[in-house]
Structure 1
Amino acid sequence: MSWARCPSRDHRGHHDDEGFQDVLRGRGTRGRSGREPHALPHPQVGHPRASEGGAPCLPPPSVPPTAHRRRRAMKPEFERPSNDVDLGAIALNRAVSRRDFLTAAAAGGAALLLSGVPASAVVASRASAAPRDSVVLLWNKAFLDGVRESKLGPPMVARALAIAHTCIYDAWAAYDHRAVGTRLSGSLRRPPDERKLSNRVQAISFAAYRAAADLFPRSTATIFDPLMASLGFDGADISRDTSTPPGIGNVAAKAVLEDRHADGSNQLGDALGGSPGVAYSDYTGYAPKNDPMDVRVPFDPTSVRDPNSWQPLRYVDGSGNVVTPSFVGAQWPRVATFAVAPGSLRSASGPARFGTGGYITQARDLLDLSADLTDEQKVIAEYWADGPHSELPPGHWNLFAQFVSRRDHHGAQSHGIERDVKLLFALTNAIADAGCCAWDNKRTFDSVRPITAIRTLFHGQVVRAWAGPYQGTKMIDGATWFPYQPRSFPTPPFPEYSSGHSNFSAAGAEVLRRFTGSDRFGASTVLRAGSSRIEPGLVPSSDLTLSWATFSDAANQAGISRRYGGIHFEQGDLDARATGRMAARDVWRKAESLWEGG
């Protein structure tokens, strides 16, 4: 199946069918610093079932993300779907977290409860109960709880969610009349009289359970065993009899998991050169060029041997331990992808280099953003942070997929299961491949983070910037500059270029847009006054609503949030938005070909 080619717009609003190739040719994708750029060009869009040549050509979104201040807090009122399994996470009438969703009843409107700030910060208007969720959403929620209990980094989370939903897809495909699996093709296909809802639910659950226990083992007893029991299934059933639903699920998952155990990620900690028994340990011999920066003491310029390169940070984490994290995912360029050719989305030029005007300009632009941060921008930075103990940036888009499933009334019957299987299969693999693209660039260019670049350039000079919690904007020594981040997690432990957030989010938005046939999102979240983790009690000064008219709006806001937070430079954000959509395009084509019969 082919898709209609749309004349696209670049970030400046100009039509440019070649905009997606700019980053690969070394031109990058630049906009005006500190301003939300237009949506990046969309390569091809349409509905999953659009006919040949009939895919709609959608223009880039014109409605920017908005923030509306409200003076009076609203109390959350919500109900659990009748088949929603309580995984021990939430009690009714308590403060809600991002894992809880509400769908509005009137006129197709929706309010989405998601937050990167404390659970007490999130409120929503009165909404009706969500329709009955499919078994796919139940397992997706369980996977996200597994992520929250794990200590995995972003690319590991993206990979894990993709594997889990691929296991679900392969088990479901055995009961479809056309779809083929990723590993065993159509060899597991069951006859028409067995293609019943109950068989699909059981096969999916066994595949999901095997994947979850393999990928998030510490959560097996606390999350996955209780879910299986609540569904009436016995996780101890390891049957390989493919004439039964448990056998289908077990065999489908086994084929996927065995393949991915050797995909280059070192999930099992058995790769030669890695730390024996340490899951996902680096086995490539990466070593940073710079000595660690201890953020607890005055900046030492001699620790920066190469101002182009990433510098590890030493700080006190949220548990009170002094830590110096190494490069998370240094081996990721060697990880197998689903559809994107390895290295094909690597930048031809990379980030600005020390000694050039671009290097200085990107640092000054970020200082200007830091100095003029509004409450809205601070809230955006915190909402999208997705740091430790959250579902991380890849999982954030799984939450958006759950919202779309409920908004569009997928439901728990066979048709709803089919739609949820396909949506999350394509979404998670697109995000995982986009992550491989981001980490390929991170390893290739080993690029400096803003905290190192700004302190190196401006130590001993007075600059205007955010001066720290409750300090507002002041004139400070550039050597003391700190991003708008918690002291316990000042900057993620991997190089800057290109942005993982922007890659993940652009890929997620592109798949959601293709799957639904529209860029329309219509979601929002309310952050309570004073709910900031960085400046609690002060930010925001009154309740503030973030809303997204389109998926692209949400993805663009996720990207710029890292510039507000002092984590990324503009080029690292904008280039990644382009490559994230390119990765999603490739994954979408392959996923669609599989569920259409290969």
Structure 2
Amino acid sequence: MQAKLFLTPLLAAAALCTSLTALAGGAADSPAGNPVTRWNAVAIQVLPVDPGLVMDSRAFAIVHAAIHDAVNGVERRYRPYTIELSYPNASVDAAIATAARDTLVALSPSQSSTVEIAYAATLLGIPDGAAKQAGVELGRRSAEANLARRVGDGAESAGGPPYVPKGEPGDYDFTPPFDKPPFGPVALFPGWGAVTPFGVETLDHRLPGPLALTSREYARDFKLLKAMGRNDSSMRSEQQTDMAMFWFEFSPMGWNRIANTVLRQERTDVWRSARIMALVNFALADGYITGFAEKYRHRFWRPTTAIRAADRDGNPATDADKNWTPLQAPAFFTPPVPDYPSTHTVLGAAAAEVLIQNFGDRLRFEVVSTTLPGATRTFQSLSDAAHENGMSRVYGGIHFLHAVKEGCRQGKSVGRVVSQLLAPAQEGKAAQYNVEGPVKSKLCLHGLTP
């Protein structure tokens, strides 16, 4: 796949660095968790490396779908995602471990040794006998069914067809360092929007499009980004620079860690953990799919191109700066995809909305990041974290504010739909499920301002 080859020299190296420290972040001072959160931590360690960025969102979703179906094969508290199984005397720990192990080995073959070590350690702690054997068989069948479900889902061909810029004002063009060898010219996954979603209909989450280049609104957005997002900005505070770096970590890893932290902090049981982690990852995967569908439908240029070429945009209120660059820092760059919408914001809003629908918004938690090592940020609500996650792209100069606001709106709609999946199998069995539909959420209603 062309896109995967492109990831190898630069982005995969960044993913490896991130993954190796992922487990250290936020785990040591929290409750120990349960088998679901522990296997999620293994997934965080291996999936960003192989299959790699963007593709890891699909892999996370498959892994947690298999875990969910395996758990509910022991005792059915929630509706299954792919396959209904019944092993009432099976070991839950063995079922989770085997479902996770089989999917992770299939989806991350280069990291199989890490997975096998974790699997062997888990099985050693489970007494031999019929329950263990039944759990292994249950987990195997769940993994097999969920992997089979995704065969032919469009992911294998999503690296193409090759993107060709039109050279017109407003049209996305390749951005440094992906505009020439050794890293380009390339645009990432032009076909990812055609991948089969996990829980939504892609067309239900379309967006109206970028601001017109000649509009006053575009000029206002342009001026804000040009001043705040430039590398040597006097408008951007030191704290905002730190936010740009802190949230640069790629979304599937970052929001899986947040979800893991919340589940452990709230001491959520195995069944509910399996459901919520599956839904968070369906939302993340579908956020990329719906977001990329809109990115390549609208093909809107990135700020670095727009500011350098403002003399061609037809707007008298915008001034070109041929030497303008966004924030420059190690492991910080403009991702090689169109501007609108910001999928970083889409994914953050989607994951946050799922968590809000399950825990409410007012939840104090701490977040760490591998792209700003040593820093810890504390939030009083999930929506505050999602808003800061989105605004970080403006602070870093890599997304227009309009792309962030629309990304938040799209992500919230994805998360709201996904949060209603995997409903309770029997009333009263699955606690704290919103049987009357989505709760009101303040996500995207405030906070998306500099």
Q: Tell me which interval the TM-score lies in, with the shorter structure as reference length.
A: 0.7 to 0.9
Aligned to 1:357: 216
Aligned to 1:496: 339
The offset of 1:314, in angstroms, is: 4.5
Aligned residues: 398
- C-alpha change, 1:355 and 1:477, in structure 2 (3 Å) is closer
**Secondary structure of 2:74's match?**
coil
- C-alpha change, 1:399 and 1:442, in structure 2 (3 Å) is same
Which residue identity lines up with residue 147 of structure 2 in the other structure? L
Counterpart among 87, 91, 99 of residue 190 in structure 1: 87
Identity %: 25
Per-residue deviation, residues 61-104 of structure 1 (Å, max 9, x unmatched): xxxxxxxxxxxxxxxxxxxxxxxxxxx999xxxxx945324xxx
**Secondary structure of 1:590's match?**
coil
Aligned to 1:373: 236
Aligned to 1:174: 73
> Matches of residues 458-469 of structure 1 in structure 2 within 5 Å?
none
> Matches of residues 373-412 of structure 1 in structure 2 within 5 Å?
373-386=236-249, 392-410=250-268
Which residue identity lines up with residue 201 of structure 1 in the other structure? D
Per-residue deviation, residues 230-282 of structure 1 (Å, max 9, x unmatched): 11269xxxxxx99822121111111111111211111xxxxxxx5xxxxx532
Which residue identity lines up with residue 329 of structure 1 in the other structure? F
Structure with greater helix percent? 2
Q: Which whole-Å CA distance do the structure 2 matches of 1:545 and 1:205 have between them?
A: 31
Aligned to 1:216: 108
The offset of 1:322, in angstroms, is: 2.5
- Greater mean deviation of Cα atoms: 553-562 or 436-445: 436-445
> Matches of residues 130-529 of structure 1 in structure 2 within 5 Å?
130-150=30-50, 152-154=52-54, 156-184=55-83, 186=84, 188-191=85-88, 194=89, 199-221=91-113, 223-232=114-123, 244-266=134-156, 274=157, 281-282=159-160, 285-290=161-166, 305-315=167-177, 322-324=182-184, 326-347=186-207, 349-370=208-229, 371=233, 372-386=235-249, 392-410=250-268, 416-457=269-310, 478-486=321-329, 490-516=333-359, 518-524=360-366
- C-alpha change, 1:489 and 1:100, in structure 2 (3 Å) is closer
Per-residue deviation, residues 310-367 of structure 1 (Å, max 9, x unmatched): 11134389xxx821152222112211112211211111x3002334433333221101
| Kept in 2: contact 1:315–1:487 (CA 8 A) | no
Q: Which whole-Å CA distance do the structure 1 matches of 2:154 and 2:31 have between them?
A: 40
- C-alpha change, 1:325 and 1:552, in structure 2 (3 Å) is farther
Q: Which whole-Å CA distance do the structure 1 matches of 2:216 and 2:306 have between them?
A: 13
The offset of 1:408, in angstroms, is: 1.4
Which residue identity lines up with residue 228 of structure 1 in the other structure? Y
Which residue identity lines up with residue 350 of structure 1 in the other structure? G
- C-alpha change, 1:361 and 1:327, in structure 2 (3 Å) is same
**Secondary structure of 1:232's match?**
helix
Q: Which whole-Å CA distance do the structure 2 matches of 1:453 and 1:360 have between them?
A: 11
The offset of 1:403, in angstroms, is: 1.1
TM-score w.r.t. length of structure 2? 0.80
* Residue segments in structure 1 that go unaligned for 5+ positions in a row: 1-87, 91-95, 102-111, 114-127, 235-240, 267-273, 275-279, 291-304, 387-391, 411-415, 460-475, 534-542
| Kept in 1: contact 2:63–2:103 (CA 8 A) | yes
Which residue identity lines up with residue 586 of structure 1 in the other structure? V
- C-alpha change, 1:581 and 1:587, in structure 2 (3 Å) is same
- C-alpha change, 1:526 and 1:405, in structure 2 (3 Å) is closer
Q: Which whole-Å CA distance do the structure 1 matches of 2:17 and 2:31 have between them?
A: 20
| Kept in 2: contact 1:446–1:496 (CA 8 A) | yes
| Kept in 2: contact 1:313–1:324 (CA 8 A) | no
- Greater mean deviation of Cα atoms: 206-215 or 130-139: 130-139
- C-alpha change, 1:510 and 1:594, in structure 2 (3 Å) is farther
TM-score w.r.t. length of structure 1? 0.61
- C-alpha change, 1:395 and 1:494, in structure 2 (3 Å) is same
- C-alpha change, 1:152 and 1:546, in structure 2 (3 Å) is same
- C-alpha change, 1:170 and 1:545, in structure 2 (3 Å) is closer
| Kept in 1: contact 2:51–2:107 (CA 8 A) | no
Q: Which whole-Å CA distance do the structure 2 matches of 1:519 and 1:330 have between them?
A: 34
Q: Which whole-Å CA distance do the structure 2 matches of 1:249 and 1:160 have between them?
A: 17
| Kept in 2: contact 1:153–1:329 (CA 8 A) | no
- C-alpha change, 1:595 and 1:503, in structure 2 (3 Å) is farther
Q: Which whole-Å CA distance do the structure 2 matches of 1:89 and 1:382 have between them?
A: 15
**Secondary structure of 1:359's match?**
helix
**Secondary structure of 1:174's match?**
helix
| Kept in 2: contact 1:173–1:595 (CA 8 A) | no
2:423 corresponds to 1:592: yes
- C-alpha change, 1:233 and 1:325, in structure 2 (3 Å) is farther
- C-alpha change, 1:490 and 1:178, in structure 2 (3 Å) is closer
Which residue identity lines up with residue 289 of structure 1 in the other structure? P
- C-alpha change, 1:583 and 1:477, in structure 2 (3 Å) is closer
The offset of 1:178, in angstroms, is: 3.8
The offset of 1:190, in angstroms, is: 2.3
**Secondary structure of 2:203's match?**
coil
Aligned to 1:105: none
The offset of 1:373, in angstroms, is: 0.9
Q: Which whole-Å CA distance do the structure 1 matches of 2:163 and 2:17 have between them?
A: 40
- C-alpha change, 1:256 and 1:570, in structure 2 (3 Å) is same
- C-alpha change, 1:259 and 1:437, in structure 2 (3 Å) is same
Greater C-alpha Rg: 1
Which residue identity lines up with residue 548 of structure 1 in the other structure? F
Per-residue deviation, residues 21-65 of structure 1 (Å, max 9, x unmatched): xxxxxxxxxxxxxxxxxxxxxxxxxxxxxxxxxxxxxxxxxxxxx
Which residue identity lines up with residue 308 of structure 1 in the other structure? G
Q: Which whole-Å CA distance do the structure 1 matches of 2:355 and 2:165 have between them?
A: 40
* Residue segments in structure 2 that go unaligned for 5+ positions in a row: 1-15, 126-130, 313-318, 430-434, 436-450
Q: Which whole-Å CA distance do the structure 2 matches of 1:329 and 1:148 have between them?
A: 16
Q: Which whole-Å CA distance do the structure 1 matches of 2:334 and 2:280 have between them?
A: 27
| Kept in 2: contact 1:212–1:224 (CA 8 A) | yes
- C-alpha change, 1:248 and 1:447, in structure 2 (3 Å) is same
The offset of 1:148, in angstroms, is: 3.6
The offset of 1:524, in angstroms, is: 3.5
| Kept in 2: contact 1:137–1:402 (CA 8 A) | yes
Which residue identity lines up with residue 406 of structure 2 in the other structure? D
The offset of 1:149, in angstroms, is: 2.4
Which residue identity lines up with residue 78 of structure 2 in the other structure? A
**Secondary structure of 2:405's match?**
helix
| Kept in 2: contact 1:180–1:595 (CA 8 A) | no
Q: Which whole-Å CA distance do the structure 2 matches of 1:229 and 1:572 have between them?
A: 45
Per-residue deviation, residues 542-561 of structure 1 (Å, max 9, x unmatched): x9763211000000000000
